[in-house]
């Protein structure tokens, strides 16, 4: 967007104090907030982002690098702008860090055009509303909590319930079913997962249509706080400059909030709600409100969201939830029963769950399935205490069908087929609807329950 980088020759000040990732810089003149400053020690480059004006001669900044090697008195230079990344069509196929620098051992991106990672969302009149279902081939999702094309989906769940696996499967589906480009932001999660993803994408040949941006859990809070915005900046670039349909994935959006809270603490702000930063809502909005589709192209986003202590009322979770069109809630009880993906069919929801959007057929089948599963849940305690024989004829039939539906809504995934030994399957929505209708009608009452489990369509059972 802007021209060549500014090469400052004169230092504007020096490092005055260092508190881990927080650095106070004595300088004249004072650089504005969010300005990127740099310093160099023995060929090591440091980047600082200004976050506070302490007084007339000092600013407090967050480092976007490790601070080892940095000393008091180190001269500091002004870059003349906020943190920015190089953008070029060559970004496709690359693995980058928060500065848009290669992590894959390849050449740096061409340094012709840059975009600031902090920017405003497009004007309201440019945004186009989300529309239509984006089929994923994942039965339970397409049926009960469909993804919205150009919308935002959150995958919520506590530790180890399958968020990362689901996001990978979804990436796989998008490459297989829809020819778009994807941008993956690895924010504060396991370093190993980043490596695995890159290798897998390279081996399967899907890397050419993807950009991976990583700032994992070993990075400083400043990096984890900004890396999601870097990834988003690339998604916006692909949308605007190349007019592509972009899928923007993030694992994990909770880590972005957490990094913001660390930064806030380092800056000495008092926490507000339950230990979170007072700026929680505005920080979340700053990221989420930029994920929009325009006339030039659509950005569909899927974000994994860690739920601390499985508590959906956590303020960070609530702040993220309010921005979403679809929320897929992964539950420990489903995972405990071996039902993967561990989507809670009753708690998960989508703005699309409306007769008007889905059409009568899909809506009616989804309602039927939900009613059966809800009734089964209500009766579960009675069944445990008194046994299924005590139920009325009608309830017994509902339970029988619900148990089959529950198993049918599990599905073998491509991305874990090496571990599970079951090949992955993708089921088109019309097939899922036909199968579920069959279950509700009683077509499969005689099929043993375990034959409904971890499979694709029911076609072979007819
Ligand atoms: N769809 C699935 N099919 C089979 N196994 C699965 C599936 N999803 C998750 N698992 C199992 O659960 C484990 C944890 O999954 P995953 O790493 O996706 O969880 P997570 O929610 O991302 O965890 P964390 O909060 O630690 O990041 C996997 O290694 C796998 O063994
Ligand atoms: Mg994970």
pLDDT digits (tens, 9 = 90+) for 67-112: 788 999 999 999 999 999 999 999 999 999 999 999 999 999 999 9
Query: What pLDDT digit, counting tens, does each position of 379-407 carry?
Result: 998 898 888 888 899 999 999 999 999 99
Contact criterion met (CB below 8 Å) for 288 and 320: yes
Quick one: pLDDT at residue 460? 65
Question: Would the CB of 170 count as within 6 Å of ligand 1?
Answer: no
Domains of the chain: 13-82 (2.40.10.170), 85-351 (3.40.50.300), 358-461 (1.10.1140.10)
- Among the residue ranges 15-29, 87-101, 175-189, 404-418, the one predicted with the least confidence is 175-189
Q: How far is the CA of 166 from the centre of ligand 1 (A)?
A: 8
State the catalytic residue, choosing from 84, 115, 139, 163.
Answer: 163
User: What pLDDT band is residue 8 in, cutting at 50, 70 and 90?
Assistant: low
337 has catalytic annotation: no
High-pLDDT (> 70) share of the chain, %: 97
Is position 190 annotated as part of the catalytic site? yes
Q: What is the mean pLDDT of residues 46-64?
A: 94
Cα separations in angstroms, 358 against 1, 12, 24, 371, 373: 40, 59, 55, 18, 20
Tokens of 229: 């915005």
What is the 415 CA–ligand 2 centroid distance (Å)?
Answer: 14
Evaluate if residue 436 carries a pLDDT over 70.
yes
C-alpha 441, offset from chain centre? 37
Average pLDDT over residues 169-182: 81
- b/e per residue, 253-269, with b = 16+ CB within 10 A? bbbbbbbbbbbbebeee
How many angstroms does the Cα of residue 256 sit away from the middle of ligand 1? 20
Question: Encoding tokens for residue 286?
Answer: 């700053």
The mean pLDDT value for 286-292 works out to: 92
Cα–Cα distances in angstroms (integers) from residue 174 to residues 235, 238, 245, 292, 358, in the given order: 15, 16, 11, 19, 20
Q: Answer for the pair 348, 176: CB distance below 8 angstroms, yes or no.
A: no
pTM of the predicted model as reported, rounded to 2 decimal places: 0.92
- The answer to whether 113 touches 107, Cβ cutoff 8 Å, is no
pLDDT tens across 297-318, in order? Answer: 889 999 999 999 999 999 999 9
- At residue 244, does pLDDT exceed 90? no
Alpha helices of 243-279 — where are they, by DSSP H?
253-266
363 pLDDT tier (thresholds 50, 70, 90): very high
What's the token pair of residue 256? Answer: 């972005």
Average confidence (pLDDT) over 111-126: 91
Q: Which atom of ligand 1 is nearest to the CA of 341?
A: 1
For residue 161 and ligand 1, the question of a CB distance below 6 A is answered with yes
- Ligand closest to the CA atom of residue 340: 1
Q: For residue 455, what pLDDT is reported?
A: 95
Confidence of residue 171 (pLDDT cuts 50, 70, 90): confident
pLDDT at 2: 40
Which residue of the set 189, 236, 245, 262 is catalytic? 189
Residue 1: band (very low, low, confident or very high) from pLDDT cuts 50, 70, 90 = very low
Q: Residue 271 in contact with residue 265, Cβ under 8 Å? A: yes
Amino acid 344: pLDDT = 97
């Amino acid at each position: 967007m802007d021209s060549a980088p500014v090469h400052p020759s004169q230092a504007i000040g020096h490092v005055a104090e260092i508190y881990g990732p927080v650095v106070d810089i004595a300088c004249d003149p004072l650089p504005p907030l969010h300005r990127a400053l740099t310093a160099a020690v023995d060929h090591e480059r440091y980047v600082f982002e200004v976050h506070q004006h302490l007084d007339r001669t000092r600013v407090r900044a967050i480092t976007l690098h490790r601070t080892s090697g940095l000393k008091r008195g180190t001269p500091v230079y002004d870059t003349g702008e906020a943190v920015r990344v190089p953008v070029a069509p060559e970004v496709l196929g690359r693995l980058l860090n928060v500065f848009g620098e290669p992590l894959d051992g390849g050449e740096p991106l061409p340094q012709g055009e840059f975009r600031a990672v902090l920017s405003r969302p497009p004007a309201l009149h440019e945004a186009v509303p989300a529309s239509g279902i984006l089929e994923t081939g994942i039965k339970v999702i397409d049926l009960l909590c469909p993804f919205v094309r150009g919308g935002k989906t959150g995958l919520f769940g506590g530790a180890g319930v399958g968020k990362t696996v689901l996001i990978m499967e979804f990436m796989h589906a998008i490459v297989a079913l829809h020819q778009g480009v994807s941008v993956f932001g690895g924010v504060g999660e396991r370093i190993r997962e980043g490596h695995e993803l890159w290798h897998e994408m390279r081996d399967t040949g899907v890397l050419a249509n993807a950009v991976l941006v990583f700032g994992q859990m070993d990075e400083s809070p400043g990096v984890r706080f900004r890396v999601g915005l870097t990834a988003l900046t690339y998604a916006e670039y692909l949308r605007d400059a190349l007019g592509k349909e972009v899928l923007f994935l993030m694992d994990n959006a909770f880590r972005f909030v957490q990094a913001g809270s660390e930064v806030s603490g380092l800056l000495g702000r008092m926490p507000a709600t339950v230990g979170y930063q007072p700026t929680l809502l505005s920080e979340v909005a700053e990221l989420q409100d930029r994920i929009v589709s325009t006339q030039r192209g659509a950005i569909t986003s899927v974000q994994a969201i860690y739920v601390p202590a499985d508590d959906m009322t956590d303020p960070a979770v609530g702040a993220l939830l309010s921005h979403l069109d679809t929320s897929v809630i992964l539950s420990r009880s489903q995972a405990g029963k071996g039902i993967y993906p561990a989507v809670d069919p009753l708690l998960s929801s989508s703005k699309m769950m409306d007769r008007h959007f889905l059409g009568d057929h899909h809506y009616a089948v989804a309602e039927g399935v939900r009613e059966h599963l809800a009734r089964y849940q209500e009766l579960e305690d009675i069944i445990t205490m008194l046994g299924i024989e005590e139920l009325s004829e009608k309830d017994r039939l509902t339970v029988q069908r619900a148990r089959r539906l529950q198993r049918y809504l599990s599905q073998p995934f491509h991305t874990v087929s090496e571990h599970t030994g079951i090949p992955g399957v993708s089921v088109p929505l019309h097939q899922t609807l036909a199968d579920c209708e069959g279950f509700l009608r009683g077509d499969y009452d005689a099929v043993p329950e375990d034959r409904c489990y971890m499979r694709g369509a029911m076609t072979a059972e007819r």
